Amino acid sequence: MQLLHFAILSPFLFAFIIPFLAKYAKRVHTGWFVLILPVLLFIYFLPMIRMTQSGETLRSVFEWIPSLGINFTVYIDGLGLLFALLITGIGSLVTLYSIFYLSKEKEQLGPFYVYLLMFMGAMLGVVLVDNVMVLYMFWELTSLSSFLLIGYWYKREKSRYGAAKSLLITVSGGLCMLGGFILLYLITDSFSIREMIHQVQLIAGHDLFIPAMILILLGAFTKSAQFPFYIWLPDAMEAPTPVSAYLHSATMVKAGIYVIARFSPIFAFSAQWFWIVSLVGLFTMVWGSFHAVKQTDLKSILAFSTVSQLGMVISMLGVSAAALHYGHQEYYTVAAMAAIFHLINHATFKGSLFMAVGIIDHETGTRDIRKLGGLMAIMPITFTISLIGTFSMAGLPPFNGFLSKEMFFTSMLRVTHFDLFNVQTWGALFPVLAWVGSVFTFIYSMKLLFKTFRGSYKPEQLEKQAHEAPIGMLVSPVILVAFAVSLFFFPNILSYSLIEPAMNSIYPTLLDSHEKFHVHISQWHGLNTEVLMTAGIIVIGTIGYLTMNKWKGIYKLFPSKLTLNRLYDKLVTLMEKGSYRVTKQYMTGFLRDYLLYIFAGFIILMGGAFVIKGGFSFTTEGMAKIGVYEIILTLVMISATAATVFARSRLTAIISLGVVGYTLALFFVIFRAPDLALTQLVIETISVALFLLCFYHLPKLRLKKKTRTFRMTNFIISLGVGIIVTLLGIASSSQRTKDSIASFFTKHSHDLGGGDNVVNVILVDFRGFDTMFEITVLTIAALGIYSMIKTKVKEEGKSGE
């Protein structure tokens, strides 16, 4: 285990100390201790840029379950490092923010930071691990820690609902992904992603290619809140705002993007990948931005905005698949570049926006946009942060969102030039959808900003007297928006340090040994279509925002009964109630029903085996002659059995059962089994006596001498069992393949066992072991009866007192 492994595991290890710090160092906010770790990790990861920049990677193996090929292999390349820096960097800022956001006195800080560290470690594991099984482990850990963080205020109904919803959706996606990983393992015989990429030719031609791809995409889409799985994200906004900022905007939701990017070299050459990834992403983008406009809760707007922006990134990743077919010309790889660039940009402006919303919530007591207004003069710094964040989100200059939006349009416009994957027919759809989505993005961004900060201040609707946030709370968002601005002016500080190595790991096969992707980002390309599109967005968006009250009505066109949330709720209740109903249907609580199932199962299984395997056979060979006694005794037994079944009173049934038993003893006599006959006689006597005892003690109340009612099912089932057992007996005695070992016993009973009674010698000598446990059984039965009766007497005595 090397330092790298410890770097990934350090948050988990550190989490062990947190409860003690929270308990014994009460005077210092626990967050200060926590802050050290992400900062250190960030500093630890930062110099590695130099390594990935020169095209090198770092691989370090720690054997975990080598016999299964599951090793804790850390693999650092451009993509992994980019995510690691995002996680630790934004993790540090969020921790700092949370110190001022969460009250030391009112909140349970220990659990909060334990969950947060757990999440950080899990997320680092997801992005830096090469082994898919270990990746899956960390993946589920992110789901779990996210669940814990969403339900942090567990006394609120909505928090619990949101936490359960997110867990259900992300874990079902995660399980699908596990299935995909296992399929990939079946194809390539390796759990290592590196190894899989090397065997891409093998994977491509395999039958399991499509199932594996779809399963892995399901995992990625659920985690990254794509349509129709995005519904957990708006409900996850019940989490404390630092959590929303960290998990649900900057890191966890990007785990799905990471997986899509990571598995691009394996799947991206197929048309299915291109269509699924780009269309789902694009549709999610439009859908999310469209629905963000109607939200009235600030965090809901941001949640839908996150959904939309993630869709945008994913659609770009999907579109970039074309690069694999056209070679590595910049013309096609721009989509991948835009995706990575926007990934970083989104983390900066969405993180800062969440923090700004958290400040507004913290200082005014509400997040409802209808109650807010006129905060511009009261909270100038927060306003500035929000302005930069929203303008960047809307894609306006001079902020970084503008650049990535331009690149997004570029990549979408280039789709129309594809002559691949049958894009020609629908290629025009891409830029149109992208543009429509961007218009709505513009509208909700403006709504977010102006409805909150402009207009009239409504102090009577606010819980608190609004005022500017403490400086500590402002530090993190200010740093983030500083990035947002500076990335516009100096985007190329990222180009060859982060974006190029990351692209290199998404499409490793595209480059020759010393080539590099051309990732120079420029602010101005001249007056091209993209700029005109942005201008159109601003014009149409402004009109749309100003006339919003007029066209708000279209949201009512969507029937509230047909929303995805309602579908989810219905599905959950349906599953709960349905399984309850199904269980209630067959778990009746009546033993007779369960016996019916068992016997019916027996008939179906045995009868089915007879039919399918043709197991039935019948020969008269080796049969003994039937004598008069046998016939007479059989007739007696049949009539006694019939009498038992059709008896009107229980006493008759008991007596005729006794007749059956004594006839059996007689059968033992004529079939020359004296020991059996003796034992059968005595035992039958005793059991009849016990039956009579039971009969005598039947409670008086219920003692209506009822004849048994006839039930058709019971009749059929019992007839079936009888027939099957008879057939089984005939078939098994007709197909004797081996001689019996009985001859050994008769031959050696005297010289080995020292006795002439073969039965007895077998019982006590040859097979004495069985006998020993049979007498144990008898003893247990006796003790059982004894204790049952004795303890019952005691209880009665107690209740009588």
Partner 1 sequence: MNEQKTNDIILQTVTKLVSFIILLFSFYLFLSGHNAPGGGFVGGLITSSSIVLLLLAYDLKTVRSILPVNFIYVAGVGLLLAVLTGVGSFVFGAPFLTHTFGYFQLPILGKTELATATIFDLGVYLVVVGITMTIIQTIGEEE
| Interacting residues toward partner 1 by CB under 8 A | 674-675, 678-679, 682-683, 686, 690, 693, 753-757, 759-761, 763-765, 768-769, 771-772, 775-776, 778-779, 781-783, 785-786, 789-790, 793
Strand-pair category, 58-65 with 70-76: antiparallel
Instruction: Indicate the residue among 214 and 764 with the shorter CB distance to partner 1.
Output: 764
Instruction: Indicate the residue among 269 and 766 with the shorter CB distance to partner 1.
Output: 766
Shortest distance (Å) from residue 769 CB to partner 1 = 6
Instruction: Indicate the residue among 528 and 776 with the shorter CB distance to partner 1.
Output: 776
Q: What is the DSSP string of 575-625?
A: HHHHHHHHHHHH--S-HHHHHHHHHHHHHHHHHHHHHHHT------TTPPP
Burial of 560 (0-12, 13-18, 19+ CB in 10 A): exposed
Instruction: Indicate the residue among 547 and 757 with the shorter CB distance to partner 1.
Output: 757
Phi and psi, residue 25, nearest 5°? -110, 65
Instruction: Indicate the residue among 633 and 759 with the shorter CB distance to partner 1.
Output: 759
Residues 6+ apart with CB under 8 A from 273: 213, 267, 318, 321
Shortest distance (Å) from residue 624 CB to partner 1 = 22
Residue 368 DSSP SS3: strand
* Closest listed residue to residue 395, CA positions, set 445, 436, 448: 445
Instruction: Indicate the residue among 2 and 779 with the shorter CB distance to partner 1.
Output: 779
Instruction: Indicate the residue among 739 and 751 with the shorter CB distance to partner 1.
Output: 751
Q: What is the DSSP string of 106-135?
A: TS-HHHHHHHHHHHHHHHHHHHHB-BHHHH
Instruction: Indicate the residue among 707 and 799 with the shorter CB distance to partner 1.
Output: 799
Report the C-alpha gap between 487 and 498 in whole angstroms.
13
Helix (H) or strand (E) holding 59: strand 58-65
Instruction: Indicate the residue among 612 and 693 with the shorter CB distance to partner 1.
Output: 693
Contact between residue 481 and residue 580 where contact means Cβ atoms under 8 Å apart: no
Contact between residue 101 and residue 241 where contact means Cβ atoms under 8 Å apart: yes
Shortest distance (Å) from residue 588 CB to partner 1 = 33
What secondary structure, in 3-state letters, does 165-220 show? HHHHHHHHHHHHHHHHHHHHHHHHCCCEHHHHHHCHHHHHCCCCHHHHHHHHHHHH
Residue with tokens 């959590």: 243
Instruction: Indicate the residue among 617 and 679 with the shorter CB distance to partner 1.
Output: 679
Query: What is the chain's length?
Result: 801
Contact between residue 329 and residue 213 where contact means Cβ atoms under 8 Å apart: no
Q: What is the DSSP string of 482-498?
A: HHHHHHHH-THHHIIII
Report the C-alpha gap between 129 and 72 in whole angstroms.
7
Residue with tokens 């969507």: 558
Rounded to 10 degrees, what is the CA torsion of 395, 399, 405, 410? 130
Contact between residue 431 and residue 409 where contact means Cβ atoms under 8 Å apart: yes
Instruction: Indicate the residue among 532 and 783 with the shorter CB distance to partner 1.
Output: 783
Report the C-alpha gap between 48 and 26 in whole angstroms.
37
Tokens for 278?
Answer: 């780009």
Instruction: Indicate the residue among 703 and 780 with the shorter CB distance to partner 1.
Output: 780
Report the C-alpha gap between 353 and 789 in whole angstroms.
74
Q: Give the amino acid at 430.
A: F
Residue 155 DSSP SS3: coil
Contact between residue 236 and residue 153 where contact means Cβ atoms under 8 Å apart: no
Contact between residue 146 and residue 253 where contact means Cβ atoms under 8 Å apart: no
Instruction: Indicate the residue among 558 and 744 with the shorter CB distance to partner 1.
Output: 744
Shortest distance (Å) from residue 70 CB to partner 1 = 44
Residue with tokens 């006129």: 374
Instruction: Indicate the residue among 547 and 779 with the shorter CB distance to partner 1.
Output: 779
Shortest distance (Å) from residue 747 CB to partner 1 = 16
Shortest distance (Å) from residue 756 CB to partner 1 = 4
Report the C-alpha gap between 548 and 660 in whole angstroms.
91
Whether cis (ω within 30° of 0) applies to the bond prior to 19 is no
Shortest distance (Å) from residue 678 CB to partner 1 = 5
Tokens for 770?
Answer: 């069985």
Instruction: Indicate the residue among 287 and 745 with the shorter CB distance to partner 1.
Output: 745
CA distance between the termini of the chain: 70
**Alpha helices (runs of H) in 246-369, residue ranges in sequence order:** 253-267, 271-294, 298-319, 323-326, 330-364
Shortest distance (Å) from residue 627 CB to partner 1 = 22
Shortest distance (Å) from residue 789 CB to partner 1 = 5
Shortest distance (Å) from residue 664 CB to partner 1 = 16
Shortest distance (Å) from residue 656 CB to partner 1 = 23
Shortest distance (Å) from residue 688 CB to partner 1 = 13
CA atoms within 13 A on the CB side of 251: 34
Shortest distance (Å) from residue 652 CB to partner 1 = 23
Shortest distance (Å) from residue 691 CB to partner 1 = 12
DSSP 72: E
Instruction: Indicate the residue among 470 and 674 with the shorter CB distance to partner 1.
Output: 674
Instruction: Indicate the residue among 40 and 692 with the shorter CB distance to partner 1.
Output: 692
* Closest listed residue to residue 385, CA positions, set 487, 246, 480, 293: 480
Shortest distance (Å) from residue 785 CB to partner 1 = 5
Contact between residue 385 and residue 322 where contact means Cβ atoms under 8 Å apart: no
Shortest distance (Å) from residue 752 CB to partner 1 = 9
Report the C-alpha gap between 417 and 402 in whole angstroms.
24
Residue 70 DSSP SS3: strand
Shortest distance (Å) from residue 699 CB to partner 1 = 15
Shortest distance (Å) from residue 661 CB to partner 1 = 14
Instruction: Indicate the residue among 131 and 680 with the shorter CB distance to partner 1.
Output: 680
